[in-house]
Structure 1
Amino acid sequence: MIESWIHVLNLAGVAVCAISGTLMAFQKRMDGFGVVVLASATAVGGGTLRDMMLDLPVFWIEDTDYLYVTCIAALITIIWLRLTSLFPYHYLLVADAFGLALFNVVGIEKALGTGAGMAVAIAMGTITGVFGGLLRDVICREVPLVLSGELYAITCIVGGGAYALFYTLQLPDIWCVVAALVTTVCLRLGAMRWHWELPVFRSE
């Protein structure tokens, strides 16, 4: 049962991140090929790195449904954007937040499925969540969200901590998943709304 839910979450994460990549491509006025590249990099970049690090078959090569979902999500977003003249930057950030949370959970579950420890699983969840967005921002020559501004990767780590807490309490897997999702999304959206940061250097 939980495997089916994880598959659905992974598909949802791919779709949401493809939308995020397409919105960024729209902002940068890319052509059709640029949209495909950016949507795909955002959607499957993190999962690809995770699978390579865990020495597993790359998920979108093993199951091409993820590529179809990426293309469909990008196409629907393009059609919607052609019907409006405004760039929905806020929607880009919200879509990114949900994609971050979905991929965080998928990465944790996949790592645990290989027998990895919880610390490694949280690291894999964070990598899965942030690397696609990192690729997107680097390709677009933007300062990556993960490296500046409001809390980003930290939200994945805290969400992973919530998962670990419920897992330690031996609660059903679905509650571990829900705890990680809710924690990551709420913390990221809260950081966006109230500008929560982890300052290291003093302001001038």
Structure 2
Amino acid sequence: MIAGFADVTPLIAVLDYAGVAVFAATGALAAARAKQTIVTFVFFAAVTGVGGGTLRDLLIGAPVFWVHRSDYLGVCIVAAALVWLLQADRWRLRTLLWLDAAGMAAYAVIGAAKGAAYGVPPVAQVAMGVLTASFGGIIRDLLANEPSVLLSREIYVSAAALGAVVYVVGTQAGASTFVAGGAGVIACFGVRAAALGCGLTLPGYRDR
């Protein structure tokens, strides 16, 4: 992270940790559903929690955000331990999907903000938001042998893109990072929640 990135606004700092924690919890939940060991819980939590941000930082030439700091991996370990202690194998898949939606909303804004902090152009900022929000979940599903949401018609990546676009357009228009970030999170989570609650999907290729 560049100096002071997490301190751009209190909202960005909170979203940063919240995104890691929530995505880490979804990784641990996937391990719980597969009846894995605590070691696998922690591994899934860490890979899911930091996966998207790692890809983002590598692409924009930033120091990988968790390598020189222990707090992010600590958040992943705590999330995994809580899921283990709360006997999350009894939780329904729906819980994972709603947690994933919350983490995605936070990370869509964080990814775009990190891209902006490193001077990438607006369109690339949106791309960084999408990658940060979706890549950890993709890795989680592959490791857990779960059907990837990318191979369904669910509104997923498009929700992350909307959140990132709202943030980028807002900041480009002169809005504060607090206002733009809050609007981006609400837009992303709102669309994803509508998709989960109402079964909204995108049309497929050559649908009639």
TM-score by length of 1: 0.93
1:151-191 Cα distance to aligned partner (Å, 9 max, x none): 00000111122123322331111111001000000100111
1:164-203 residue pairs with structure 2 within 5 A? 164-202=168-206
Q: Would you say 1:69 and 2:75 are equivalent positions? A: yes
In the alignment, which residue of structure 1 is the partner of 2:131?
Answer: 127
1:24-103 residue pairs with structure 2 within 5 A? 24-81=30-87, 86-103=90-107
Distance 1:149 1:25, change over 3 A: farther
Quick one: which amino acid aligns to residue 138 of structure 1?
L
Q: Distance in 1 between matches of 2:92 and 2:111?
A: 28
Corresponding residue to 2:161 among 157, 161, 173: 157
Worse-matched range after superposition: 165-174 or 112-121: 165-174
Quick one: which amino acid aligns to residue 19 of structure 1?
A
* Contact 1:40 1:70 (8 Å CA) reproduced: yes
- Displacement of 1:8 in angstroms is 2.2
Corresponding residue to 2:143 among 139, 144, 147: 139
Q: Would you say 1:14 and 2:20 are equivalent positions? A: yes
The secondary structure found in structure 2 opposite 1:200 is coil
- Listed as ranges, the gaps of 5+ residues in structure 2 are 1-6
Quick one: which amino acid aligns to residue 22 of structure 2?
V
Worse-matched range after superposition: 67-76 or 162-171: 162-171
* Contact 2:53 2:132 (8 Å CA) reproduced: yes
1:37-84 Cα distance to aligned partner (Å, 9 max, x none): 1111110100011111111111111221000111011111111116xx
- Listed as ranges, the gaps of 5+ residues in structure 1 are none
Worse-matched range after superposition: 141-150 or 184-193: 141-150
* Contact 1:130 1:146 (8 Å CA) reproduced: no
User: Structure 1 vs Structure 2: percent identity of aligned residues?
Assistant: 32
Quick one: which amino acid aligns to residue 156 of structure 1?
A
Q: Distance in 2 between matches of 1:167 and 1:128?
A: 19
Quick one: which amino acid aligns to residue 125 of structure 1?
G
1:66-112 Cα distance to aligned partner (Å, 9 max, x none): 00111011111111116xx7223221111000100111111000000
In the alignment, which residue of structure 1 is the partner of 2:4?
Answer: none
Superposed CA RMSD:
1.7
TM-score by length of 2: 0.91
* Contact 2:167 2:180 (8 Å CA) reproduced: yes
Q: Distance in 1 between matches of 2:43 and 2:85?
A: 17
* Contact 1:191 1:197 (8 Å CA) reproduced: yes
- Displacement of 1:202 in angstroms is 4.9
